Amino acid sequence: MATSDVAFQAYHGQGQFEGDKQPIYALFSMYPSLQHFISVDPEIKSVRDLSGKRISVGALGSGCEILSRLIIEAAGLSYDDIQVSHYSQLEAVQAMRDRNIDVLFYNFAYPGTVVQEITKAREVWVSPGKIVQEITTVYFVPIDEDIIEKLTGEYGYYTRGVLPAGVYQGQDKEVPSIQVGNEVVINIDIEGYRAYRLVRLLFDWAYKLYDVHPVTKQLIPENGVKTSIPLHPGAEKYFEELGGYYDFRGFYK
């Protein structure tokens, strides 16, 4: 599984894959992941307020880190202007609770368990025999509209997204952001019939996942074809058989 920006770079030999094109096709796209921009500093109201701040941008080379860097650069800043950490999702939770970072970027489909974990009350030892309940106050910061327009205009795999109001505790307003697809990729040497059967199995039975997580309701053919790289011929055959869903989107020109 890979976010669409990472899959695109891998297929074309760009970014971290410079000069090393990967032998992959897309099997299908699952659902978009929203970029979460979260702060414990109430003075941070824009990406442009990040100068000098301590920020976790996600694991090095991850889809989250790639998009975080682009967002920061689109604001006229660079990593040299901020204090960057590459915490994992769970490490970032602890770092934010301990006030070791001011801001974190997460990229996943909402609701994210790690975000819920940050806002959850925790027991803190303050003196011998005394434990208190502590709640970390976090702020869900919108991505600036001009940055959204710039990045979605330059990169076809990024689209405008919105975190609806009330997804997380204390988040009572919708929050504009950027989202990116999540794709399942497969080696180009995998036989067509295997790729076909994998895609058919998933989409024929996707409804079984709908009660597991709300985002799985987006596992539908209309979304499955929205990949950033060419589909494997076996997957292509499945979507063509459905009729009405498939769109080459220019990738084969």
Residues 186-203 pLDDT 10s: 999 999 999 999 999 999
Q: What is the pLDDT of residue 127?
A: 61
Report pLDDT for 248: 41
- Strands 54-56 and 83-85: what pairing? parallel
Cis, bond preceding 111 (omega within 30 deg of 0): yes
Distance, CA of 6 to CA of 29 (rounded, Å): 13
The answer to whether the predicted template modeling score (pTM) of the entire model surpasses 0.75 is yes
Identify the structural domains of the chain with CATH numbers, from first to last: 2-242 (3.40.190.10)
Question: Contact 196/235 with Cβ under 8 angstroms?
Answer: yes
Q: Tokens for 12, please give them.
A: 């074309």
Residues of the chain with pLDDT under 50: 246-253
Residue 66 token pair: 């790639």
Three-state SS at 151: helix
For residue 110, give the nearest of 54, 177, 60 by alpha carbon: 177
Query: Can you give the pLDDT at residue 243?
Result: 77
Distance CA 3, CA 202 (A): 19
**For 85-135, what is each residue's pLDDT tens digit?**
999 989 998 899 888 999 999 998 888 888 888 877 555 555 676 665 566
Instruction: State which amino acid sits at residue 144.
Output: D
Report yes or no: 185 and 229 within 8 Å, Cβ to Cβ. Answer: yes
Q: What is the reported pLDDT for 134?
A: 65
